[in-house]
Amino acid sequence: MRYVSTFQASTEVVVVGGGAIGSAVSYRLAQAGAAVTLVDQRFGRGTTANSFAWLNALRKVPYEYHELNARSMREHESLASELGGDWLHLDGMLAWIDETDASGIEHFQRNLRQLAQWGYRVDRTSPEIAMRDLEPDLLIDRDRTSEVYVVPGEGWLEGVAFAHKLAHEAQRRFGATLVQERVVALIRDGSAVTGVGLADGRRILADIVVNAAGPDAAEVAAHADIKLELRRQPGALVVTAPLPVCIRHVIYPPGFHLRPEGGGRLLLGGDHYDGGVAEATIPTLDHPTCAMAVADLGRVVPTVPAACIEALRVGIRPMPADGHPIVGFESDAPGLYEIVTHSGITLSAIIARYVTEELTGTKVPELAPFRPDRFRTSTWAESLRNTERDEK
């Protein structure tokens, strides 16, 4: 992919955050001609390293958000082809529901009808065929399940490898600068943001500062007196030791999810795992979440041993207040461009393309629903007050 760029060699862009989003944006911006400096203290070892990294558009509403995710999966294929990457695994997803759960069935069927209207492919097969032809090491309870749903276009991403490759290709191919340090300030000229201050005392001036700091994005924005409507959401993932099983797809049985993790390992996640951890949780193998994972895995892969867990990972995920991405310039802080989203792994490829198009002078209507200023409207404030009242 190439851009007809309005960037000049003297245009300086600082990208704060070297995870999937920041690395992809840095690569595309540098490719388009910007002088990019990518700043991060850990480079892909934060949220990106602790993500389930499911590439999907399955439960994404409304349509604009669904379509952004669906397009990004195709864009990931383009990026992997462009860079010769082996981090992308689009082998599909299998899901089924417990048919004794009436409310779960209703919700899932409603979602399937919506996806069909939007032209998103979801196939159906029987548990027998799924276990025979798709995942022979999988056990599906046929007393509770009559159909298995197959989404052939979905998959997962090796997030750390992806972020590392894009950051270093931005440097190697297009002259981007990588700085391993923490941003502790935004440099101001009146209300405008004109650069960043680092923990080691250095200052980097810029025409544009892109805030792609994930769960730390609110802290970065606060240096410009901007309040991002964002919360930090702890999450847990459990990694098995290498196992004598072959799982190829992302698997969504009732109550949890799993996928391959490389080297014969499996990665497990679930809402009940997330609920058992906090930011301060020490990820040890005697944590109750590991026992939950053993029990969950045993229901669908009964051949695994009881002592099969190798690691518990605890990460912090950024969650915008309405669940949707925040992408765009801050009207109250010219020069500061926000990019923060919960679906960062899935959306990284398309956001990198769209942001680069926007910053090189192209109108991108696909980003219009996700601007930062939406949270400062009277409609949003009333919605927030109603939510807080309902929670009480």
What's the pLDDT score for residue 326?
98
- Do 242 and 354 share a structural domain? no
Could you read off the pLDDT of 343-353 as tens digits, one per residue?
A: 999 999 999 99
- Do 141 and 265 share a structural domain? yes
What's the pLDDT score for residue 383?
53
Please answer whether residues 38 and 23 qualify as being in contact, where contact means their C-beta atoms are separated by less than 8 angstroms.
Answer: yes
Could you read off the pLDDT of 296-347 as tens digits, one per residue?
A: 999 999 888 878 999 999 999 999 999 999 999 999 999 999 999 999 999 9
DSSP-assigned letters across all residues of 20-34:
HHHHHHHHHHHHTT-
- Do 274 and 214 share a structural domain? no
What is the domain-level CATH number for residue 252? 3.30.9.10
Q: How many CB atoms lie within 10 A of CB 331?
A: 13
Q: How far apart are CA 370 and CA 328, in angstroms?
A: 8
Could you read off the pLDDT of 176-186 as tens digits, one per residue?
A: 999 999 999 99
Average pLDDT over residues 106-113: 90
Domains held by the chain: number: 2
What's the pLDDT score for residue 6?
54
Q: How far apart are CA 311 and CA 357, in angstroms?
A: 40
What's the pLDDT score for residue 44?
79
- Do 294 and 165 share a structural domain? no
pTM, two decimals, is 0.93
- Do 171 and 64 share a structural domain? yes
User: Does some domain include residue 386?
Assistant: yes
Please answer whether residues 38 and 176 qualify as being in contact, where contact means their C-beta atoms are separated by less than 8 angstroms.
Answer: yes
What is the domain-level CATH number for residue 187? 3.50.50.60
- Do 268 and 143 share a structural domain? yes
Average pLDDT over residues 194-198: 98
Residue ending a domain, choose from 295, 320, 345: 320
- Do 337 and 316 share a structural domain? no
Domain that holds residue 117: 90-153+232-320
- Proportion of the chain above pLDDT 90, given as a percent: 87
Q: How far apart are CA 384 and CA 379, in angstroms?
A: 9
Residue ending a domain, choose from 260, 288, 320: 320
Report phi then psi at 73, rounded to 5. Answer: -60, -40
